[in-house]
Amino acid sequence: MSIFAATHIARAGLLAHQRAIQVTGRNVANISTEGYSRQRPVFTPIASVFEADGFPQGGGSRVLRVDRLVDQSIQSQLERERSQKSYNETFEIGIRRVEGILDELGDTGLSASLDQFFGALNDLANGPADFATRETVVLFGQNLVGQLQAADIRLEQLENDTNAEIARTVEEVNEITLELASINRQIRDREFGVDGSSELRDRRNILLEELGERIDFTSFERDDGSLAVFIGGGALLLDGDARSTLTTATDPGTLPKPDSLHIYTELNGNRTGPFTQTITGGRIGALLDLRDDRILSYRQNVDEFAFTLADRVNTTHLLGRGTVDANARNFFVDRNLAVAGTPPGTALSQVDGAASSIGINPDLLNEARHVAAGLPAAGAAAEGDNTNALALASLQSTAAAFFQVGDDPVVGATGSVLTLNQFLSAQAGSLGAELRGLQTRIQADELSIRELEDRRSSVSGVNLDEEVANLVRFQRGFEASARLLQTVDELLERLLSI
């Protein structure tokens, strides 16, 4: 082996250990960088060249590549867990808002107004001749109606807010995929090796976690290092630097509310979808489930309560009479259709929308003596007759079937047999149980994420003690290569001096 070959070996050793020191320095510098995956230089011998006499001429060593230490299965689990946690947190926020709506309109919500209304009817049964008591019945009836209307308005606003939040989150998804497409292009175009794409891949993992918090997806890496991402059961969102844009649009024929937003993908001007029913995770999945299921369900519950209340009270109120004339009147009416002076007053005709339409008969608002406390006696009821007031007051403790959305008022109610208060208690209990379940799932998500992050850190995190040990080892290798070069230089100097 030529003495000059030893020079090349020393030079290769110097370069290899210099690069290894650079990798170690990069690890140490990024010890506090979120999402950074530590890197490890992989040394390989340079192939020997055989001389004419058959003696191998060694080539030294070089850094073959820099490995990025990542357990992809842990990373994939983290993406899924973060997506599930985001879903549960978003859902909990929505259910809490529903709870606030149904419980904020008074000290304890609808139950308090219901108790006040029937308390006034009990007072009327005890003093049917008192005009002020009749006015109190009408007043508390108005309060109850006002709460039902306010609850419906707020739940409708919550639906609209949820729609708007879906649109905002879709835009956030588009911003993330735009950066992902750029990173895909850089990874594909960058030459792999010492100056490979580790930092780009770290950034891509962070973006994928952020994407998963907003929408559930599946992905795989292609041979060129770029990533393909799919949503909604197979809809292409990203493939290399080819990127579909998420869009939203209404489709009145397919969702419970005509102004509800559907989600589509759009690529090169071609729109595909909708994928609204197949998006089940992340913030968007939770918002869709809130809007199309839970908020709608609780809003229907308010409608069912309003219609059942009106039906039960009206059925009994029509049997009695006020003290002014012999006309039977509904107590609760459709406020959009009822006209004063046209007894009995137009009652609610369907369960759906009852909470927004319910009102007090304008005849009773104008004249509280139309409240039917007694039974008809040769026309109007006697002022001291409390027979019908007793029947009205007893409705609070009377259990009967509740009307459900879709029931025909003529055919009758098909829901559970409950008192009015039991229905409200069941609704409050359902909300409370749902919130407790969500809180439990969020806590489980947090524990799972912490465990996965610890496992990822053990694989990908920078260990300062280990890096210092590597730094010393690479320093010794660099010094040995430098010593070899110095020795070769001395030999050459000796040889030239002969």
Could you read off the pLDDT of 122-143 as tens digits, one per residue?
999 999 999 999 999 999 999 9
Distance of alpha carbon 228 from the chain centroid: 24
Cα separation, 151 vs 491, whole angstroms: 95
Measure the CA–CA gap between 234 and 224, rounded to whole angstroms: 21
Query: What does the alpha-carbon distance between residue 278 and residue 232 come to, in Å, rounded to a whole number?
Result: 5
Task: Read off φ and ψ for residue 231, nearest 5 degrees.
Answer: -130, 170
**Cβ pair 154, 101 in contact under 8 A:** yes
Q: Give the pLDDT confidence score for residue 51 in this predicted structure.
A: 60
Per-residue buried b or exposed e for 146-184, using 16+ beta carbons within 10 Å of the residue's own CB: bbbbebbebbeebbeebbebbeebbebbeebbeebbebb
Please give the pLDDT value at position 1: 53
- Would you tell me how many other CB atoms lie within 10 Å of the CB of residue 252? 9
A 10 A CB-CB count for 453 gives 14
CA distance 332 to 344: 10
Q: Which residues have a Cβ under 8 Å from the Cβ of 490 and sit 6 or more positions away?
A: none
Residues 380 and 324 sit within 8 Å (Cβ to Cβ) = yes
Lowest-confidence segment of 172-186, 254-268, 404-418 by average pLDDT: 254-268
Phi, psi of 277 (to 5 degrees): -80, -15
- Please say if the pLDDT value at position 188 is more than 90: no
What integer is the mean pLDDT of 489-498? 79
Share of the chain above pLDDT 70, in %: 94
Cβ atoms of 375 and 318 within 8 Å: the answer is no
Q: Is the peptide bond before 45 cis (omega within 30 degrees of 0)?
A: no
| pLDDT value of position 489 | 78
Specify the pLDDT at position 194.
41
Does 254 score more than 60 pLDDT? yes
Q: Average pLDDT in the 319-347 region?
A: 95
Q: How many whole angstroms separate alpha carbon 418 and alpha carbon 92?
A: 28
Cα–Cα distance, 162 to 387 (Å, whole number): 49
pLDDT at 492: 80
Q: Sort strands 235-239 and 242-243 into parallel, antiparallel or unpaired.
A: antiparallel
Q: Is 109 exposed, middle or buried (0-12, 13-18, 19+ CB in 10 A)?
A: buried
Q: How do beta strands 417-418 and 261-267 pair? A: unpaired
Report for 10-24, 267-281, 329-343, 368-382: range of highest mean pLDDT? 329-343
Predicted model pTM: 0.87
Question: Would you place residue 106 in the very low, low, confident or very high pLDDT band (cuts 50, 70, 90)?
Answer: very low
Mean pLDDT of 336-348: 95
Model confidence at 323: pLDDT above 80: yes
What mean pLDDT do residues 156-173 have? 96
What is the distance of C-alpha 11 from the center of its chain?
A: 58
pLDDT top residue among 82 and 490: 82
Q: Which pLDDT value is given to residue 2? A: 64
Phi-psi region of 60 (alpha: psi -120 to 50; beta: other; left: phi over 0): left
pLDDT averaged over every residue in the chain:
90
Nearest to 387 by CA among 313, 331, 321: 321
**Average pLDDT, integer, range 7-19:** 89
| Strands lying side by side in the sheet with 261-267 | 245-250, 261-267, 270-272
User: Could you tell me which of 423, 407, 411 has the C-alpha nearest to residue 351?
Assistant: 407
